[in-house]
Each structure stands twice: as C-alpha cells, then as structure tokens.
Amino acid sequence: MFKELEEKLKKIEGLQQLVADPKVISNPAEYKKYAKELSAIQKMADKYNEYKKTTEEIASLEHVINAKDEEEEFLKLAHEELASLKKKNHILQKKLTELLTTEDEEADRNIIMEIRQGTGGVEAALFAQDLFRMYSRYATKRNWNVEVMSTSLTEKGGFKEIICAISGERVYGRMKYESGAHRVQRVPITESSGRIHTSVATVAVLPEAEEVDIEIKPQDLRIDVFRAGGRGGQHVNVTDSAVRITHMPTGLVVSCQDERSQYKNKTKALRVLRARIFDKMKQEQQKKISQDRKTQVGSGDRSEKIRTYNFPDRRVTDHRIGFSTHSMENVLNGELDEIMDALAEADRKLRFK
C-alpha cells in the first residue's frame, strides 16, 4: 500500500509541474485534463502526508519514553499522547486503504449513456423509455445536466435507442455500475389476458473522453450525410442534416439526426464516437489485467443481467450484490441513492479483499 502511495506523491509532483508549465496553460483542454487529475489524487496525498507526520511523531515519542531520561510526570503525559497518536494513525491508515480501494481515475468524468430496446418488442422499448426517465430524474436530483444526443423511436412508442450525455460532479463514479441488462416483469399495456411478460433493455455507461484523451485522425473517418427520417418537423426528408460517422480502424459507427444542423449532428456524433473508442480501450486494458474482472462489482458486460424490476411484487433486485427493495415506484422516480450506495460499498469491500 505504501509503495503505491509513494508513487502517488511522485505523480502529484509531476502534475504540479505540468499545470504550471506555460505550454500546458496555453492549451485549455490539456490544462483541464492535468488539473482534474491533480485534484482527484490530492486528497489521498494530503492524508498520506498527515499519516507520515503522525508516524514520525510516534517514533519520536517512543524514543523519549524508552530512554527514560525524563521525569515521571512527563513520561505519563508522553504515554497518553502516544496512545492518542496511535489511535489517529490507525484511523488514517484505514482511511488511506479505503481511498485506495475506491479510487477510480475516471470517477470525475461526465458520461455518455446508451439505452437500447432488448428482447420483448414494444414492451422492451417502453421500458427503455422508463429507464431514461428514471436516470433523468436522478440526474435532476443531483443537479446534473442531461443532453439528448440521439433518439430512435418505435411506431408504438418507447425507444429503440436513446443516447444522452450526463454532466456534473462525479457522474461516472456514481453511474458506472449501471451498465448491463435491466429486466422488467410486468403486464404489458398490449396484453389483454393479463399475463406477466419479461422484457429487457440494455444500458451502457461510457466515460466521456476529452479531445486530449483520444486523437481521432480525419483520414480515419468516413462521414456520410443523409436526410433525417422520423416524425414531424419540416426539415425531415428535406435537408441532408443527418450524419453517420464510421471510424475505420475500429469499425465503430455512430449516427446522429436529431438536430436540424448537420454541423451539430456531426459534433454530437464525434462526442459519442470518442466515448466509445475510449471505452473500448478501457475494456481491452482491463482484460489484460486478469484480476481486475474479479475485483469489481459486475464485469461491465452489456449482456450481463444486473437488475430486475418486478411490478407484481413492487420489487427491484440487483443480482450482483443480492440487494432488494420494495420501493419500486421510488426507484423508477429517480430515488437511486440506496442502490448506488449499496453497490459502491460492495465494490469497495471486494477491492479491499
């Protein structure tokens, strides 16, 4: 643990030099990246410096006590002070362990969230809409901003797919556990016999990448423009405002047609593409670290069934940690803190082990 903390201190020194470098200051995107990284690990470094100072004070007091050159009254006070410092040191060590086991360099990033209709037809599309509403309400409660990037509606309502950006304080750190398959069990509005159906919608939470994180070369992109389809709006099927971008090295494809402006659609599509490339790199890196998959709650696999929303029992169950609540209406209205806290605590304990 202490070797890792010493490496953090060295990293801070390097980052402090970078944010003071005139060349970095003149590049707002680069400066923002380094300043954000510095802020993220400063708290840990402060705690570690406090721990080292307390450790030195303990060693000094023990030396005085063992020498037995002082008066009895002074030695009595020294023993009391030593006990207090050891207690403080134990608390600091516990806090440092907690900070190390919960550290995530991407925690402060904004996210791109993709919600898609899975198995279940119209009911799955309606549930995808319910999930988007749930996350939007949760974002509002936390004073986050939600920006819709792209939508694809079904003829009978609900979303085939909706992509949105969520920005604010520690968004990814809070939302990273939501990736996976969300299952709903309820009687669909289209079901006349009252039978309960099981449908699925999938959620992908991608940390949003800055331009300095991912270099996208223009020659690696194929950009196609076409006329937007969908409901209403005089611009629909009139102007070539819709944009499809293909990143040829990875084969990733992003389309955006919600805006009237081709430029705005292209800008949004590039943001989503950058996030997908960054996520792909992150997933490949984690696969190389064999233990990483075993020391986190959920694998991040989009096909992994993570949660069931059971309407007949008014119950929400997170299968990764065996957590259940019968406050389903509150959960769907954006009251997600209880589940989020339970997931974060389970993840911390798993990493600590």
The reply to whether 205 and 224 lie within a common domain is no
Size of the chain in residues: 353
Q: How far apart are CA 273 and CA 281, in angstroms?
A: 12
Handedness of CA 30, 278, 320, 197 (dihedral sign): positive
CATH, residue 310: 3.30.70.1660
Which of the four pLDDT bands, split at 50, 70 and 90, describes residue 234? very low
Domain boundary among 263, 287, 311: 287
Q: Which residue has the higher pLDDT, 63 or 293?
A: 63
Output the pLDDT for position 12: 83
In this model, does residue 254 exceed pLDDT 90?
yes
- 272 and 294, same structural domain? no
Q: Is the pLDDT of residue 15 over 70?
A: yes
pLDDT, one tens digit per residue, over 17-54 is 888 988 888 888 788 878 877 877 787 888 888 998 99
pLDDT tens profile 121-165: 899 999 999 999 999 999 999 999 999 999 999 888 899 999 999
Q: Tell me, yes or no, whether 151 and 200 share the same domain.
A: yes
Please report, for residues 51, 70, 165, 219, the alpha-carbon distance to residue 77 in angstroms, rounded to integers and kept in the order given: 22, 11, 58, 73
Paired residues of 154 in beta bridges: none
* Ramachandran area for residue 298 (φ above 0: left; ψ -120 to 50: alpha; else beta): left
Query: Domain boundary residue among 287, 313, 335?
Result: 287
Q: Which domain holds residue 47?
A: 2-102
Same-domain check for residues 333 and 231: no
- β-partners of residue 205 are 113
Specify whether 265 is located in the same domain as 326: no
Statement to judge: residues 226 and 305 lie in one domain: no
- Residue closest to 161 by CA, chosen among 116, 208, 111, 130: 116
For residues 278 and 136, membership in a common domain is answered with: no
Residues 189 and 242 in one domain: no
CA atoms within 13 A on the CB side of 350: 16
Number of domains making up the chain: 3
- The answer on 283 and 263 residing in a single domain is yes
What is the per-residue pLDDT for 298? 56
Whether 259 and 297 map to the same domain: the answer is: no
pLDDT for 68-103, tens place per residue?
Answer: 777 788 888 888 999 999 999 999 888 887 777 666
Query: 69, 102, 135 — which closes off a domain?
Result: 102
201 and 225 share a domain?
no
Indicate which CATH number applies to the domain containing 276: 3.30.160.20
Q: Which residue has the higher pLDDT, 290 or 176?
A: 176
pLDDT of 238 above 80: no
